[in-house]
Amino acid sequence: MNMENWFDMLVQSGLLVAIVTFITKLFQLLNVLVEAKVNEIAENIKNKKLKEYILSAEESVRTGVLTVAQELGDVLKEKAVDGKLTESEKKMLKELCIEKVTTMISDNVKEAVIILKGDFDAWLNNSIEAFIKKIKMEQK
């Protein structure tokens, strides 16, 4: 059987159409699988980057709190008669801390915090409070 007869036989039997349809569907399936894998890899990269940004933001909070505490908080406590900060001093220190942290955080980091945590200002306020509380617990 020569090649021409073989091809004619495939066409006449409809087998060629079935083979072409099968191959087309197979390529479509492979395309969907490859696209899904590419999307998965892209999502993993995005998530990893977001986590790195969050770690950077958390480190900025730690640095800001410790810097403000060292630069001004300790001095105010030493000058206080009872060794404690007044409510207005606490408020001022927190505002300084927020200012310091926001200057250290890039727009990309801020955007990552918003994506993962929601409201940036609420996250920053809560993070500062949590870190201050952690410091106080460690000092006891």
22-34 residue pLDDT tens = 888 888 888 888 8
On the question of pLDDT at 18 being above 60, the answer is: yes
Residue predicted with more confidence, 36 or 62 = 62
Judged on CB neighbours under 10 Å (0-12, 13-18, 19+), 64 is buried
Distance CA 60, CA 100 (A): 9
Residue range 81-124, pLDDT digits in tens: 787 778 888 888 889 999 999 999 999 899 888 988 889 999 99
In sequence order, the 6+-apart residues with CB closer than 8 A to the CB of 72 are 93, 96
pLDDT at 45: 73
Distance CA 61, CA 50 (A): 17
Inter-residue contact 61 to 131 (CB < 8 Å): yes
The pLDDT-based confidence of 10 (bands split at 50, 70, 90) is low
Domain regions of the chain by residue span: 3-139
On the question of pLDDT at 4 being above 60, the answer is: yes
Residue range 40-78, pLDDT digits in tens: 776 777 788 888 888 899 999 999 988 888 877 777 777
Tokens for 15, please give them.
């087998």
The identity of residue 132, as a single letter, is I
Distance CA 54, CA 72 (A): 27
Distance CA 124, CA 122 (A): 5
pLDDT at 16: 62
pLDDT at 15: 67
pLDDT at 70: 80
Instruction: Look at the pTM and tell me if it is higher than 0.85.
Output: no
Distance CA 48, CA 71 (A): 34
pLDDT at 2: 61
